[in-house]
Amino acid sequence: MKKLNILLSTDYCKHFFIIIAFFLGTLCNAQKHPNLILTKKGVESIKMQLGQIPVFDQTLSKTKTEIDKEIATGIHVPVPKDMAGGYTHDRHKKNWITLQKAGVLFQILGDEKYAKYVHDVLKVYADMYPTLPLHPQVRSYARGKIFWQCLNDANWLVYVSQAYDCIYNYLSPKERAHLEKELFIPFANFLSNENPQFFNRIHNHSTWGNVAVGMIGLVMDNDELIHKALYGLKKSNLNTNLKDDDGGFIIEKGQKAGFLANLNKPFSPDGYYTEGPYYQRYAMYPFMIFAQALQNKKPELKIFEYKEGVLIKAVYALLNLTNKDGEFFPLNDGQKGMSYYSKELISAVDIAYQYGGKDASLLSIAKKQNTVQLDDAGLAVAMGIKNNEAIPFIKKSIELKDGSDGTEGGIGILRSTDHLTNLIMKYTAQGLSHGHYDKLSFSYYHNGNEVLQDYGLARFVNIEQKNGGGYLKENKTWAKQSIAHNTIIQDETSHFGGKFELANVHHSEKYLFDISNPKFQIVSAKENNAYPNTKLHRTMIMLEDEEFENPLLIDVMSFKSNTNHQFDMPFYYHGQIIDTNFEYNHPDQLSKMGSKNGYQHLWLEGIATPRKRTAQVTWLSNNTFYTLSSFMQANDTFLFTRIGANDPKFNLRKDPGFIIRKPKAKNDLFINIIETHGSYNPVTEIAHNTRSAINEIQKITVENANYIAWSMTTNKGNKHMFIVCITEANKKTHTLNINGQIYTWVGAYTHILKKQ
Amino acid sequence: MKKLNILLSTDYCKHFFIIIAFFLGTLCNAQKHPNLILTKKGVESIKMQLGQIPVFDQTLSKTKTEIDKEIATGIHVPVPKDMAGGYTHDRHKKNWITLQKAGVLFQILGDEKYAKYVHDVLKVYADMYPTLPLHPQVRSYARGKIFWQCLNDANWLVYVSQAYDCIYNYLSPKERAHLEKELFIPFANFLSNENPQFFNRIHNHSTWGNVAVGMIGLVMDNDELIHKALYGLKKSNLNTNLKDDDGGFIIEKGQKAGFLANLNKPFSPDGYYTEGPYYQRYAMYPFMIFAQALQNKKPELKIFEYKEGVLIKAVYALLNLTNKDGEFFPLNDGQKGMSYYSKELISAVDIAYQYGGKDASLLSIAKKQNTVQLDDAGLAVAMGIKNNEAIPFIKKSIELKDGSDGTEGGIGILRSTDHLTNLIMKYTAQGLSHGHYDKLSFSYYHNGNEVLQDYGLARFVNIEQKNGGGYLKENKTWAKQSIAHNTIIQDETSHFGGKFELANVHHSEKYLFDISNPKFQIVSAKENNAYPNTKLHRTMIMLEDEEFENPLLIDVMSFKSNTNHQFDMPFYYHGQIIDTNFEYNHPDQLSKMGSKNGYQHLWLEGIATPRKRTAQVTWLSNNTFYTLSSFMQANDTFLFTRIGANDPKFNLRKDPGFIIRKPKAKNDLFINIIETHGSYNPVTEIAHNTRSAINEIQKITVENANYIAWSMTTNKGNKHMFIVCITEANKKTHTLNINGQIYTWVGAYTHILKKQ
């Protein structure tokens, strides 16, 4: 329509053959559609295979049922009014889904009723759009027109572009010209030129914006839009102090923009997306669908090879960031329960299979998803499944580096040899505005269940009663704070003082990630900026030993400061306490543990100063027993906490935790060991292996400050000794004198087992 | 052995043919074994079918693997020492299971290694038993010798009798004489004559004791033991003031004893066992296995026809007392998660199938259990399953009357037409020592999940760290108290003042149970003794109406007292609050709600005096939304509570609740409606139907004290009016003037729907 506008504003005669050229171009273009996601050739293959490809056929049949039912209800294009979860929001959202699917059904089934429906709905949008002011809800830094935020307008266009492509040939040039002039072009301009603070960022919002503009640009062969999509707006005049609704910066100095920049910057070479898996999943759809479209229409870009194939790597990274049930680890702002069964991952797995070398292990994921994208990629997957080509996708221990060049820390995932026990240690950069202040934190899973949890976000996505489905204030006051995580807290203040500006320029440093011995896997990282003049170093070991029923998690946090501080080490468990090996006080009233930094959300349910050096607490969760054994020094306290204080809207889950507190320390270690043991069966009522196998943990004093050492004695009297060099991770020979005994080993750490 | 003892004490010549007769008898007897549970004929049938009856074959194969593995570890008969959950307890428990199964394997597989193993183990027991003092743990009112309580000794003998029967013929008369003299006879006498307080009660403990003595009596053809088992000890000299560990009376005046008395008294004609389903399940094994043995050895007793076939009815009652997943409703002391997958129910279902008319619907339960009893009954079930004879076992709405003659109230179960929504209302007798003070309470399920819960018991059965696996003190201070249940509490005191003596002589009165209209099911009951001079009457309706996505639960509790009191109506939900239609205060500190009667275990998390007459709170649990709508009068308060105060050992679950409180009232109604609506999907992030469809509840003032009436208006403006006659449940015609309008209907209640 851009061309048409130009045309109408110029002299008719002079531009006669421009007109001819335009209509010829339009005609050629028309003949080629669909060519965005579905292709003419792809549609032909699909039609030939229909009825013989079970997963594809089922998906198609379900889609047909769903869309027929929806079409039967008529056309609903209400004037925008509500927040997320409200009627107009949900309705417009349903429309984008219905339109996209109806377009696909038209192509595959050839029934014009679908094309007519898409056209009819689009005409109503085209009638309404030019009249729309900004959305009446004023909560967003980038208000949309159809939705309360531009983000959702962009979602709409990404899907609807596909619908338009599918019915492009069905429409007359006049009909297309009308839709483009009244709806698509102004829509794309609104998302870009009129909202640079939304369009020109390094952020998942901008990716959606870029892709929306790019997709409709590709359908219309509008190079200007395509260029904007790939490279961003040339001039945005954005102020570097601007922040978005989540407190993230809109723009950094000298920052590039557009789709390629959003592929360059937030993705590490390992395919890890700095915001974390929940948002990576969300962004995967526009990334992958636009890549597919670009591959179809601009193969010369070789988009799937961009940055050494980062898009395909990103899909693998995401699959590795899931627990046994395929649920994403809720790092940073992440909603629990979101999984690789989401539509974004169905699409991503199909596209990665098609464009990433037909890896048969992806078929096993697609098989579980039991749905495919209704296009060439989905067809390829369905054929692979039908031909029994699927092989298991095995999630192994893996490190995913963070930072556009992979130098900004990362995520270390340790998985036991039976794959049932998973440790996720986080030593990434801040993760933009959705990042949490949780340097060196971790979460821990057994058999798909959370043992020690990451709280995730404080939000009920799309439940309107809870703040319109948006982030709750407890996301900031609790979920983002350091105390909400299984990591160290100094003086009851969050890392970087909870200041995004500061956190955003730092990242933790990987120290070690060594999985060469599958029965002694180790990950270790340092954080030197979370607190001024304090250095933190956490080392986590997954140890498998015949004396223990399941892998042990050994967790050693060392800290070194100039001055004395209080240090807290929280562990958030689930379930019910079965036993402790120490006495504690249980208060008669519950009080808040503090007034800020998240402590105001914790009730104190118990407090102890254990006399034993090894404090143990056993709990039962999901019919499995767990024991935390903590090395305690004199004056260390053991606190029992529960989330839920200062929560007047019941926005938080009332989950329990332990805190091991060193009231005054400067240079010391927290040594904690988590055992998974036994089982309880409420039907047979048999309780098996209900007790810890650990007798004692000891810190071992080492004169040489380059080393830390500790030991663990089992109830059978076997003694494990661990020495870690904390200054030199490279392979070299170490010799160390501890209490007159000389130890020599190669590499940063050694483990010595003395059997009784 | 009794006979032998007599023999040895008399003159040899005189009794020559008595000796002959004895050995002939022994020989005949020997030839007939096994004849207790397995029979010679049954074993032959089983052998013929082996390999062709999948469920039986699998069970047999699993059993063989389990027992072979166990036998390979050697013989372990430790000197008794530990409480439940401890080594010696668990080991002797394992022995009884292993012996019983090894005996069966010997019979079916014919491999003598199993017989030898059983004999070898029994010899060790026979060596040890005569030397055993009472068990060193002194917690029980009836200490055992092998276990801390006679109950477990009885369990042992019930199983081991079966093992002895299986190897009876394998043993020489001398070997048998040794075992009987040293082990079985003194064991049976210990459980009976030496422990009348255990043996002569109406209680599941005594049933186990009776059956233990009866089973070994049947194996040995010892009529004296059999007689004791069936009819109890003639003279027990028990004091009627004696109480057991749970606070229940040992004996009531004039009470009969023995197996038949335990069948007569606690079972109602509907097969409901007064202690509740958890203990009914526990007692079902001795009841059914002894009945099977009696049927085999004393068919003239016609035990399965006793009390109009109450044993078979009891199995159906138990199956009806389960939720969608087969888990028992945790009435009285009941551990959650216990289900019809327990070994007792596997056995009971098989025996009920075999001796109860081969009801094909039982096969569908057996199919889910996927295990059978390894005997004739199990064979019949496995054959039925193999022949595809199973038809669904459909759990419908049902009333199960309580009391030996069915006149002591009951349990009313309402199930929705789709079977997914279940109401269990309790208006039984006290339920002996395991009863809770929860007159007219209820629990409510949707799709197998608890919506409004019954707390169940406070105990971690067999987890030694928690009070040796026994009842926790919070069972008495919390779980049994009225406030722990969804029922009315006057002046913060439990029903009957929490006094068992008083509670035990009363029961609630059924008023109505009408399920003739599947879309308007009603159960109603009265309680006149829980509080002196206060009459309680609860009416619960399950209403299905097209305006509501799921059935509604309408709950009206009326009370009438001489004087003013405070009345509380608690509802214990799960999940997280999404919204309320009123403001409330959230305290800065949590305090206990009281000092006794269970209130000391509740934290007060919020308090409101809603201005709207219809207070609404919506919560999300298991991804389903629920709304409680409460009719509130001026001064009524709405409290938000959480269990967990005064719980220094973390023995209680920290579950939330609401309390609707009338601070000062004498004669009024609580009207509450519970809606189940909508869904949330964390993968699609779609929230559907998140809001209540109810606008308002109104109490309608009726001049005539024989009636109560109320109305409910929906958001669409439809008005439902309900009138219930509270004094006359029989079908008759009523005419009532309410505010000048005349209503006429037939039967105790009417429902008038005025559509907008």
> What is the structure's pLDDT at A16?
52
The dihedrals phi and psi of A561, each to the nearest 5 degrees, come to: -130, 165
> What is the structure's pLDDT at B9?
45
> What is the structure's pLDDT at A2?
41
| From B462, B640, B656, residue closest to A685, measured CB to CB | B462
Residue in A135, A35, A33, A25 with CA at minimum distance from that of residue A88:
A135
Contact between A121 and A100 under an 8 Å Cβ cutoff? The reply is no
- pLDDT at A347 exceeding the cut of 90: yes
**pLDDT band, very low/low/confident/very high, at A425 (cuts 50, 70, 90):** very high
Please give the mean pLDDT across all residues of chain B: 94
**pLDDT band, very low/low/confident/very high, at A8 (cuts 50, 70, 90):** very low
Tell me which CATH code domain A398-754 carries: 2.70.98.70
| From B336, B343, B683, residue closest to A682, measured CB to CB | B336
Active-site positions of B?
279, 434
Segment A61-78 shows an average pLDDT of 97
Superfamily of domain B74-265: Chondroitin AC/alginate lyase (1.50.10.100)
Alpha-carbon gap, residue B610 to A91, rounded angstroms: 33
Please give the mean pLDDT across all residues of chain A: 94
Residue in B323, B532, B334, B310 with CA at minimum distance from that of residue B431:
B334
Tell me the pLDDT tens digit for each residue of A446-468. Answer: 999 999 999 999 999 999 999 98
Alpha-carbon gap, residue A530 to A507, rounded angstroms: 9
Q: Which residue has the higher pLDDT, B10 or A236?
A: A236
> What is the structure's pLDDT at A756?
84
Cβ pair A342:B591 closer than 8 A:
no
Cβ pair B684:A336 closer than 8 A:
no
How far away is chain B from the Cα of A88, in angstroms, using its nearest Cα?
A: 14
Tell me the pLDDT tens digit for each residue of A378-389. Answer: 999 999 999 999
Alpha-carbon gap, residue B593 to B609, rounded angstroms: 17
How far away is chain A from the Cα of B590, in angstroms, using its nearest Cα?
A: 5
Strand partners, A510: A525
% of chain A exceeding 90 in pLDDT: 90
SS3 annotation, A109-129: HCCHHHHHHHHHHHHHHHHHH
> What is the structure's pLDDT at B7?
40
Cβ pair A589:B586 closer than 8 A:
no
Residue in B244, B266, B159, B163 with CA at minimum distance from that of residue B196:
B244
How far away is chain A from the Cα of B143, in angstroms, using its nearest Cα?
A: 22
Strand partners, B614: B631
* B chain contacts of residue A683, beta-carbon cutoff 8 Å: 337-339, 341-342
Tell me the pLDDT tens digit for each residue of B549-596. Answer: 999 999 999 999 999 999 999 999 999 999 999 999 999 999 999 999
C-alpha of A562 from chain center: 36
> Which stretches of chain B drop beneath a pLDDT of 50?
1-11, 13-14, 17-19, 21-22, 24-25, 28, 30
- pLDDT at A1 exceeding the cut of 50: no
| From B461, B465, B603, residue closest to A685, measured CB to CB | B461
How long is chain B?
A: 756
A459, closest residue in chain B (CA to CA): B578
Contact between B486 and B442 under an 8 Å Cβ cutoff? The reply is yes
- Chain A to chain B Cβ contacts (< 8 Å): 115
- pLDDT at A566 exceeding the cut of 50: yes
Alpha-carbon gap, residue A341 to A321, rounded angstroms: 13
A650, closest residue in chain B (CA to CA): B577
Domain spans of chain A? 1-31, 74-265, 398-754
How far away is chain A from the Cα of B368, in angstroms, using its nearest Cα?
A: 14
Alpha-carbon gap, residue B748 to B727, rounded angstroms: 9
Cα A274 to Cα A280, A437, A443, A534: the distances in Å are: 8, 14, 18, 25
How long is chain A?
A: 756
A469, closest residue in chain B (CA to CA): B687
Please say if A565 is a catalytic residue: no
Cβ pair A462:B337 closer than 8 A:
no
Cβ atoms within 10 Å, residue A110: 11
Residue in A345, A629, A652 with CA at minimum distance from that of residue A478:
A652
How far away is chain B from the Cα of A53, in angstroms, using its nearest Cα?
A: 25
Residue B479, amino acid: A
Residue A555, amino acid: D
Tell me whether the CATH fold assigned to B74-265 matches the one assigned to B398-754. no
* B chain contacts of residue A82, beta-carbon cutoff 8 Å: none
Residues near A561 by beta carbon (within 8 Å), at least 6 away in sequence: A490, A531, A533, A534, A535, A666, A667
Tell me the pLDDT tens digit for each residue of A677-698. Answer: 999 999 999 999 999 999 999 9
Number of H helices, E strands in chain B: 20, 24
Cα B624 to Cα A65, A195, B447, B695: the distances in Å are: 25, 38, 10, 20
Catalytic-labelled residue, pool A89, A205, A434, A485 = A434
Cβ pair A690:B642 closer than 8 A:
no
> What is the structure's pLDDT at B6?
40
Residue in B523, B510, B513, B495 with CA at minimum distance from that of residue B430:
B495
Q: Are strands B410-415 and B421-427 parallel, antiparallel or unpaired?
A: antiparallel
- pLDDT at A647 exceeding the cut of 50: yes
| Helix A360-369 / helix A343-355 crossing angle, nearest 10 deg | 160
C-alpha of A504 from chain center: 18
> What is the structure's pLDDT at B105?
98
Of the listed ranges A226-235, A356-365, A545-554, B715-724, the least confidently predicted one is A226-235
Tokens of B440: 């007219």
Strand partners, B507: B429
Cβ pair A682:B338 closer than 8 A:
yes
Determine the straight-line distance between the first and last CA of chain A, rounded to whole angstroms. Answer: 83
Tokens of B584: 């409330």
Determine the straight-line distance between the first and last CA of chain B, rounded to whole angstroms. Answer: 83
> What is the structure's pLDDT at A5?
42
Tell me the pLDDT tens digit for each residue of A28-48. Answer: 454 589 999 999 999 999 999
Contact between A184 and A155 under an 8 Å Cβ cutoff? The reply is no
Contact between B365 and B340 under an 8 Å Cβ cutoff? The reply is yes
Query: Which residues of A350-438 form beta strands (DSSP E)?
Result: 398-401, 410-415, 421-427
H/E element, A211? helix A204-220
Chain A contact probe: residue of B281, B368, B370, B462 with most A CBs at under 10 A? B462
Segment A535-555 shows an average pLDDT of 98
Alpha-carbon gap, residue A364 to B139, rounded angstroms: 56
B692, closest residue in chain A (CA to CA): A465
- pLDDT at A9 exceeding the cut of 50: no
Residues near B69 by beta carbon (within 8 Å), at least 6 away in sequence: none
Q: Residue A131 has what DSSP assignment? A: G
Cβ pair A586:B653 closer than 8 A:
no
